[in-house]
Amino acid sequence: MKYYLIAGERSGDLHGSNLIKAICRHDPQAECRAWGGEQMQQAGATLVTHYAEMAFMGFWEVFKNLFKIRSFLRKCQSDILEYQPDVVILIDYAGFNMRIARFAKEHGLRTFYYISPKVWAWNQSRALNIKRYVDRLFVIFPFEKEFFKRFDYEVDYVGNPLFDAIADFTPEPDFRVKHQLDPHKPIVALLPGSRRQEVEQMLAVMVATQTEFEAHQYVIAAVSNLPKSLYDSYQALGCRVVTDAAYDLLSVATAALVTSGTATLETALFEVPQVVCYRTSGLSYQIGKRLIRVPFISLVNLIANREVVKELIQNDFTPHLLADELRRILPNGSRYESQREGYREIKQILGDKGASDRAGQLMVAYLQNKAIS
């Protein structure tokens, strides 16, 4: 069968690649075409467009790039009609993918959605649009199944795919030596995000705390889809930079400063104490503040339904407050043990690995009209 997958971010590329591998295990004749990145391509998909071209963060930033986004939509729609897949599989990236879901449905194409749009966070009535345009929804948080029941929409909870990614990860044994890291200094990992706007908003404030922690070494998790120049100036300030090696970095880190997003949950699964950080443009923040309907922004706190990690948002995201919170999560700090206990609680809630394979098996079975035992 023919599968058309769409992921618009780095994390979607990772989960999409594992999903493609699972689909191919259960459908050896599978042909995959994708919008995504290198990982989906390496998993066997023919890549149409790279997600780096579509990474816009915040309401105002999306508005400024509407013309570009619309041109991507037209390109994607045209390519789907030409390819005529058996199913269009949408991976997160709600703004773009929900438009594609409606388009595919209107043209008689089957639609699956893997990693639900976060409709439970704001404008919950959007769940009705998912029900209308998406044939099967595969969710990765336990509370999502109950949420969609309120809209009389039965969904499949498959577990969280980050367990798969981390379970498949093998740390590089010579990581410290390769990147010339001091073997005697504990590491503070900086994860500023995978979008240019995130790095520009977040990294300078994270690095500004360095002078208060001279016994530690600061290491930045860079990504290759962004220009190297974004990180160069911080090396002059004494920071080390490692590229496309966030998991290796987390495997040796003592603590982390993390931009809100998937990386907060990854950091928790590595059991690295963290401070969650977030800042966007003033206009985007004011719009978001009026729309968001959940008490937290980090996945860690949302899953636990309580504050496990401290969130420093917008005006609270300052070097002074960030340094105070970092002290609290270092070994012997006041929040060190409680945060690690919270991480263990989250692991119990999420369950075990195998999400990608369960999702892939279900998708193939639904397409083949097979029952799942």
| pLDDT tens, position by position, 46-91 | 999 999 877 655 554 555 566 677 889 999 999 999 999 999 999 9
* pLDDT given at position 297: 83
Tell me the whole-structure pTM to 2 decimals: 0.80
Please say whether the beta carbons of 322 and 205 come within 8 A. Answer: yes
Q: Which residues contact 298 (CB under 8 A, 6 or more apart)?
A: 260, 264, 276, 309, 311
C-alpha span between 87 and 286 (Å, rounded): 38
* pLDDT given at position 84: 97
- Report the percentage of the chain scoring pLDDT > 70: 90
For the segment 130-156, what is each residue's pLDDT rounded down to a tens digit?
999 999 999 999 889 989 999 999 999
C-alpha span between 111 and 332 (Å, rounded): 50
For the segment 148-181, what is each residue's pLDDT rounded down to a tens digit?
999 999 999 999 999 888 988 999 999 999 999 9
The full set of domains in the chain, from first to last, is: 2-161+354-367 (3.40.50.2000), 175-350 (3.40.50.2000)
The model's confidence at residue 373, banded by pLDDT at 50, 70 and 90, is very low
Q: 357 phi and psi, to 5 degrees?
A: -70, -40
User: Exposed, middle or buried: residue 200 (CB in 10 Å: 0-12, 13-18, 19+)?
Assistant: middle
* pLDDT given at position 281: 59
DSSP-derived secondary structure letter, 52 = G
User: Exposed, middle or buried: residue 289 (CB in 10 Å: 0-12, 13-18, 19+)?
Assistant: exposed
Please say whether the beta carbons of 255 and 330 come within 8 A. Answer: yes
User: Exposed, middle or buried: residue 126 (CB in 10 Å: 0-12, 13-18, 19+)?
Assistant: middle
What is the overall mean pLDDT for the chain? 91
pLDDT at residue 291 greater than cutoff 50: no
The model's confidence at residue 293, banded by pLDDT at 50, 70 and 90, is low
For the segment 1-43, what is each residue's pLDDT rounded down to a tens digit?
999 999 998 889 999 999 999 999 999 999 999 999 999 999 9
* pLDDT given at position 83: 98
pLDDT at residue 351 greater than cutoff 90: no
* pLDDT given at position 168: 85
In the Cβ-directed half-sphere of 95, how many Cα atoms lie within 13 Å?
16
